[in-house]
Structure 1
Amino acid sequence: MLYINSFSTYADTFLNVLIDYSPRIISAFVILFLGLYAIRIINRLVKKMMLKRELEPTLSKFLADILLWVLRILLFVSFISKLGIETSSFVAVLGAAGLAVGLSLQGSLSNFAGGMLIILFKPFRVGDTISAQGVIGTVSEIQIFVTKLITVNNQTIFIPNGILSNGVITNYSIEGICRADLVFSLSYETNIKTAKEIVMQVMHNQPQILKNPEPTVVVKNLTDNSILLGVYPWSKNQDAITTSSDVYENCLTEFHKAGIIIQPFAREASKE
């Protein structure tokens, strides 16, 4: 009989508490669901606004994600506050947890900061061809922690943004054109004037070589057994490999016709 009375007392207390707190609980969950719906709408509107302003896709996605999580955290704090939970202690615990996570993820935070710098200052964009950290490739994606490159032989390389933002980056796509640095090793019996005229004629006959800036041919160096002829044609970035190959092939053909001898490059003998 005593147990039945105790259970009845506990049940009545629970019902009273439930009745007293039910308006607060209902209002808290109403705020939660309405807040989630509002956050979704705000996120879509912000993305459309950034798309309309033609912001870079990586920056747009990053800002939208940051806004999304900030709004979610604020909504969660409002939700627990409406339930009657003290938020000051929760914020203190959250701050301490954030500090602990930050200390344990210093490398990741460095990459995060590097990603922010790359996104904000734009040393390169998606689609640019760059050289960094000993790797040459086309930027496929700029993520928050890493940058994804695709090399010419279709390898995928991920470079951490921390070391990428602090290192030397060569961007081949900003100017849109590039110069090939080619070298021919010719015999000392060669008539240099004739050789230069042949090379210039070959370059003028190649449509992918730009007329402005003009291609140039110079005597680059005189070695013990050959004359090094420097050839510098300009082309668009996408034509760079084809340009170099065609200049080498066509010049070699014309040199053979003119009787100009290609001298092998001499290797320096090792000293023992």
Structure 2
Amino acid sequence: MMELDLDTVSEIRKKAVEFLFEFGPKILGALLIFIIGRIVIGFLIKTIDKLFVKYNIDASLSSFLKSFARAILYVLLFITIASNLGVELTSFIAILGAAGLAIGLALQGSLSNFAGGVLILIFKPFRVGDTIEAQGTLGSVETIDILYTKVRNFDNRVVTIPNGALANNSIINLSEKPTRRVEMSIGVAYGTDLKKTRQIILDILKKDERIHADPAPVVLFTSFGDSSLDLSVRCWADAGDLWPVYWDNMEALKEAFEANDIEIPFPQRDVNHYYPEGIPAAKVKGDSEGSQE
């Protein structure tokens, strides 16, 4: 094993001391700039958020702009750190441009998501707080960021959807209109008086103040089912009352049918058993009982 002589050790120590004196302050300065920069960025984002709230800026636009501002501020912070470490700004910008081109080619999907976010903010197919159905997800929009939109579904799971996919595919916005149509499918037994049934249903719906009088509720006979006469009950309510109106009135209609002896049918089948000779089992049993007499 090679041993270092005293002159070599002294030279290494000298070089290390020179390096620390030359670059140590720059590294400490860069670390200090990073810490202070993060604090300043956090303060600026909070200030921007307060201004958006004060001037009642749309929540969708607010979320997008905060994400974009945070990204720009961090880029400026890293440029400042690089400059403090002695990297020439022109060289750094050239390197950043080349890296940006390479990253842009590698992250075409992300650029598509960014463009999708801009389109969502311009055309506003939905806003933060709306209930939407898109990409196989049904839920409430929580945030619209520069690349992704977060949707919280009704079992409290958050689904992150790329903005590009949202901008280029169909979206069902369940909150855009203030009213929704409630539709209930009901079956009654064959032989039921449909006029009487229709009146009972309408009377139940009139008792619910959440149901709008205009358009008026309707009860439509839709089809002859296998075991039932099928009716479609349609009425209108505020969007937020859709499911409570549905659940409450389905239960109320069941109780009203029971009180008025209206039968709610269930599927039934008649099964006839034949012996191999083709004679019905019931006939064979009857003949057997007759012969015993």
TM-score by length of 2: 0.67
1:182-261 aligned at under 5 Å gives the runs 182-261=184-263
Deviation at 1:40, TM superposition (A): 9.3
Cα distance in 2, alignment partners of residues 73 and 177 from structure 1: 45
Cα distance in 1, alignment partners of residues 246 and 228 from structure 2: 21
Q: Which amino acid aligns with 2:93?
A: V
Cα distance in 1, alignment partners of residues 43 and 206 from structure 2: 59
**1:183–1:167 Cα change, 3 Å:** same
Cα distance in 2, alignment partners of residues 165 and 266 from structure 1: 49
Alignment deviations for residues 115-154 of structure 1 (CA, whole Å, 9 cap, x no partner): 2222332211121111112221111222222222222222
1:18-167 aligned at under 5 Å gives the runs 50-64=52-66, 66-67=68-69, 70=72, 87-167=89-169
Number of residues of Structure 1 aligned to a counterpart in Structure 2: 244
Contact 2:67 2:146 in 1 (8 A): no
Deviation at 1:70, TM superposition (A): 4.8
Cα distance in 2, alignment partners of residues 79 and 148 from structure 1: 33
Q: Which amino acid aligns with 2:233?
A: V
Cα distance in 2, alignment partners of residues 90 and 226 from structure 1: 77
Deviation at 1:205, TM superposition (A): 0.7
Q: Which amino acid aligns with 1:156?
A: V
Cα distance in 2, alignment partners of residues 214 and 57 from structure 1: 35
Deviation at 1:193, TM superposition (A): 0.6
What secondary structure sits across from 1:233 in the alignment? strand
**1:64–1:226 Cα change, 3 Å:** closer
Alignment deviations for residues 8-30 of structure 1 (CA, whole Å, 9 cap, x no partner): xxxxxxxxxx9xxxxxxxxxxxx
Q: Which residue of 2 aligns with 1:5?
A: none
Contact 1:185 1:265 in 2 (8 A): no
Alignment deviations for residues 211-252 of structure 1 (CA, whole Å, 9 cap, x no partner): 222211111122344211000122222222221112211111
TM-score by length of 1: 0.72
Cα distance in 2, alignment partners of residues 97 and 224 from structure 1: 68
Contact 1:178 1:235 in 2 (8 A): yes
